[in-house]
Structure 1
């Protein structure tokens, strides 16, 4: 519980961590609901869209680059990528210069799904975050809390 300057308890509604938890859960439920008819989960969407985006701006990303970009741990990113590969939405190919590296490439079907899913999720984002009195300020605050990696991702 947080306390005001005069020492009185303000409760969870003044605690940014508690509020972020509630905002995140509500937003995730809305995103999951919009993705369900498309046949993918929220983590699958993040991985699919990230592979597509990263691949458009250079060589196909490695699983490590994907994990770094999304903030997922490498094991989870790899598991989600394997699921997307089974769905034939991505391919995982060996790197010609380093056999330890798997390069991820979105299939034509995956690109079509990524584009549709991005449109759906952006609509959820727009509707959900319209309630924020200063959307630009919210984005600035979130970037301060979780800045992008210095590698440009």
Structure 2
């Protein structure tokens, strides 16, 4: 077959490979590729404050209404989607996400975004000029008007940075970290504890370590929970029972392996992002963190 007639065949193979990869990636979350596509579209609409009908969701996701009905029924049966009566149209229902549905969707978005980084690495990553050119070409083939965002952009772009955006990014990245650590039976909080012991140690006593962990607002640990976390790591043989507190040999090896896995994942996540944009994001988030902490600190 001549190369100049292979467009359809290659697009078909890329599509099949992408769908299979997404199916594998979101399967641990109880989703299929089709369910992910729909629930991510619903997430994009509801985060703007809307409660779409099935027909509106079908139009947004560019799927057949009868297929959307089948997917919505399965997602509702799984406890991820709500269906409520429409206030003005007796024939329609409004759709929303349950709390579980929101958590699963945010986790799935994080996993799929990481997968997109892998897919586009051969052409320089998601933010590369070649990928932008590919997006423009695909839009031309789909007949999208110039400048019109595609569905993924519509779901992830907002005019300004909001607290919801920050929370969603934190939730998605946290879920991705949990996904990376799951095979080692290590939680995100336990991994942070490894880092604290290694980077900020040595800790004279277990109480010193647990007090420090309890003082980190992002971990949301009270003193009892922090002490239980440290005791659990000792019981697993990953942290020394004696003092000063350190990782055991097994804990140090596990931490080294996990750090390398996290490093590779982080490299993929940040691939193609402009360093100036990253610097700006760092400064904005640091400022927001400082202001939030000061706002919750009682005045003297």
Partner of 2:27: 36
Q: Give the Å deviation of 1:14.
A: 4.2
Partner of 2:136: 140
Instruction: Report the structure number with the largest CA radius of gyration.
Output: 2
Distance 1:62 1:39 in 2: 23
Gaps of 5+ in 2: 125-129, 155-300
* TM-score normalised by structure 1 residue count: 0.85
Q: State the Cα deviation string for residues 4-26 of structure 1 (Å, max 9, x = none).
A: xxxxxx16x74110010011111
Q: State the Cα deviation string for residues 14-64 of structure 1 (Å, max 9, x = none).
A: 411001001111111111111111111111111111111111124211101
| 2:57 matches 1:66 | yes
Distance 2:23 2:9 in 1: 21
Distance 1:144 1:126 in 2: 23
Gaps of 5+ in 1: 2-9
Partner of 2:8: 17
Q: Give the Å deviation of 1:83.
A: 0.4
Residue pair 1:132, 1:138 contacting (<8 A) in 2 also? no
User: Which of 45, 50, 57 lines up with 1:54 in the alignment?
Assistant: 45
Distance 1:26 1:101 in 2: 36
Higher percent of residues as helix? 2
Higher percent of residues as strand? 1
Partner of 1:95: 86
Q: State the Cα deviation string for residues 69-110 of structure 1 (Å, max 9, x = none).
A: 111100000100000000010111111011111110000000
| 2:76 matches 1:85 | yes
Runs of 4+ residues over 3 Å off in structure 1: none
Distance 1:99 1:55 in 2: 21
Distance 1:131 1:14 in 2: 22
Q: Give the Å deviation of 1:132.
A: 2.7
